[in-house]
Amino acid sequence: MKTKASGEGSLASESSISLGEKLHQACESVVVAAAADAAQQGRHLSSRRGSSDSLTSQSLNQRWFTDQMATVIDGKAVAQTIRSEIAEEVRALSQKYGKVPGLAVVIVGNRKDSQSYVGMKRKACAELGIKSFDIDLPEQVSESDLIKQVHQLNVNPDVHGILVQLPLPKHINEEKVLSEISLGKDVDGFHPLNIGKLAMKDRDPLFLPCTPKACIELLSRSGVSIKGKKAVVVGRSNIVGLPASLLLLKADATVTIVHSRTTQPESIIREADIVIAAAGQPMMIKGSWIKPGAAVIDVGTNAVDDPTKKSGYRLVGDVDFEEASKVAGWITPVPGGVGPMTVTMLLHNTLEGAKRCFEKNH
């Protein structure tokens, strides 16, 4: 399955657990459309740089502020395309083996945000014909009881993926729980061994963490090549920043990680051809921090007060979208960017886990 997608340096073409070839062909129209659009409007990084030789970066910034807008990457649309392909594969598996993929979603306590995310994951499973196993545990559950649940799911033959929603309550050791998940069912890709393999050259983890994988897929499907580019990841969390930087490195980018102790983050970010923003700080990254023509992937999902909304809040990213979309070449919106793709990558990992299991037992 070593096909070359249209995006050079595409993760999907280089990973042994890449999306299926068929899936790629289906999505190619999206890639081609985005790439053609970008090319038509002279938005390739090189052409932007080429036209900027005689300008100072300040005047260049102003120029881009006034007459060009970024291509907005529609994560929802890409996610939908991939989801219908997954649904088709699930149907085919069901016909061939008489079994469907199963995903266990474990939630502890009743944090509102976690419940909302878990709800989206379970709903998406239902839509795609993936069986979801719902494990809801009380806030006070003991670590050993939670681990017992994980062990039961590890041996349940109908479960091919196990997701323990994070964050867990303070009295539970997250690292301990995650390392109890069977490697072959670690669809979040958070098991230390999977992360360790991700960090090592020429080794492939069984599963890639969903949000970082979503970022790379959005880049490659938008025709943005990664190889040889300067990439800056803002944030160093275990679930996004760190694995995203490792994935970019695997895709041959030159990677810098900016974090809360970095001095002068703006000047480092301004050098980047690719920015992945995962700091969890609402609208922290301003338009003037972005290199003209850069690809900006915004992972932030921050709720900010908004009295004009019925809910009283709205979601914003880590990037000031309004400003940055006047400078960047490509940008993902929040909501509707990385979020829907994250859930889709989870479903894709579950499908891959199930396929490996069915093929092994056949």
Ligand X SMILES: Nc1nc(=O)c2c([nH]1)NC[C@@H]1CN(c3ccc(C(=O)N[C@@H](CCC(=O)O)C(=O)O)cc3)C=[N+]21
How many CA atoms lie within 13 Å of 265's alpha carbon, on the beta-carbon side? 16
**Can you tell me whether residue 135 is helix, strand or coil?**
strand
User: Does residue 272 belong to the site contacting ligand X (CB under 6 A)?
Assistant: no
User: Does residue 34 belong to the site contacting ligand X (CB under 6 A)?
Assistant: no
Segment interacting with ligand X, rule: CB under 6 A, options 29-37, 226-234, 323-331, 338-346: 338-346
User: Does residue 16 belong to the site contacting ligand X (CB under 6 A)?
Assistant: no
User: Does residue 188 belong to the site contacting ligand X (CB under 6 A)?
Assistant: yes
Segment interacting with ligand X, rule: CB under 6 A, options 31-39, 226-234, 324-332, 339-347: 339-347
Give me the residue label for tokens 């992972």.
299
Residue 358 CA from chain centroid, whole number = 26
Least distance to ligand X, CB of residue 113, Å: 7
User: Does residue 163 belong to the site contacting ligand X (CB under 6 A)?
Assistant: yes
**Can you tell me whether residue 172 is helix, strand or coil?**
coil
Q: Given the complex with ligand X, which of 61 and 211 has the nearer CB atom?
A: 211
Site string for ligand X, 293-312 (x = CB under 6 A): --------x-----------
Catalytic sites, residue numbers: 121, 165, 188
Q: Given the complex with ligand X, which of 225 and 342 has the nearer CB atom?
A: 342
Nearest to 239 by CA among 205, 209, 279: 209
Nearest to 143 by CA among 100, 173, 120: 173
User: Does residue 290 belong to the site contacting ligand X (CB under 6 A)?
Assistant: no
Cα distances from 238 to residues 11, 40, 192, 257, in angstroms, run: 20, 38, 10, 13
Cis peptide before 335 (omega within 30 of 0): yes
Segment interacting with ligand X, rule: CB under 6 A, options 157-165, 200-208, 229-237, 284-292: 157-165
Query: Which residues in 189-218 contact ligand X (CB under 6 A)?
Result: 210
User: Does residue 342 belong to the site contacting ligand X (CB under 6 A)?
Assistant: yes
Least distance to ligand X, CB of residue 335, Å: 3
User: Does residue 72 belong to the site contacting ligand X (CB under 6 A)?
Assistant: no
Among 189, 292, 340, 353, binds ligand X (CB under 6 A): 340
Give the span between the Cα atoms of 360 and 200, in whole angstroms. Answer: 26
User: Does residue 343 belong to the site contacting ligand X (CB under 6 A)?
Assistant: yes
Q: Given the complex with ligand X, which of 169 and 335 has the nearer CB atom?
A: 335
Among 35, 164, 274, 328, binds ligand X (CB under 6 A): 164
Q: Given the complex with ligand X, which of 306 and 359 has the nearer CB atom?
A: 306
- CB contact at 8 A, 84 and 76: no
For 15, phi then psi, to 5°, come to -100, 140
Spell 140-167 as b/e; 16+ CB within 10 A means b.
Answer: ebebeebbebbeebbeeeebbbbbbbee
User: Does residue 321 belong to the site contacting ligand X (CB under 6 A)?
Assistant: no
- CB contact at 8 A, 73 and 294: no
Give the span between the Cα atoms of 322 and 148, in whole angstroms. Answer: 48
Give the span between the Cα atoms of 279 and 284, in whole angstroms. Answer: 8
- CB contact at 8 A, 294 and 275: yes
User: Does residue 339 belong to the site contacting ligand X (CB under 6 A)?
Assistant: yes
Tell me the residue number closest to ligand X, measured at CB: 339
Least distance to ligand X, CB of residue 114, Å: 7
User: Does residue 165 belong to the site contacting ligand X (CB under 6 A)?
Assistant: yes
User: Does residue 280 belong to the site contacting ligand X (CB under 6 A)?
Assistant: no
Query: Which residues in 90-129 contact ligand X (CB under 6 A)?
Result: 116-117, 120
User: Does residue 169 belong to the site contacting ligand X (CB under 6 A)?
Assistant: no
Spell 50-63 as b/e; 16+ CB within 10 A means b.
Answer: eebeeeeeeebbee
**Interface contacts to ligand X, rule CB under 6 A:** 116-117, 120, 163-166, 188, 210, 301, 315, 334-336, 339-340, 342-343
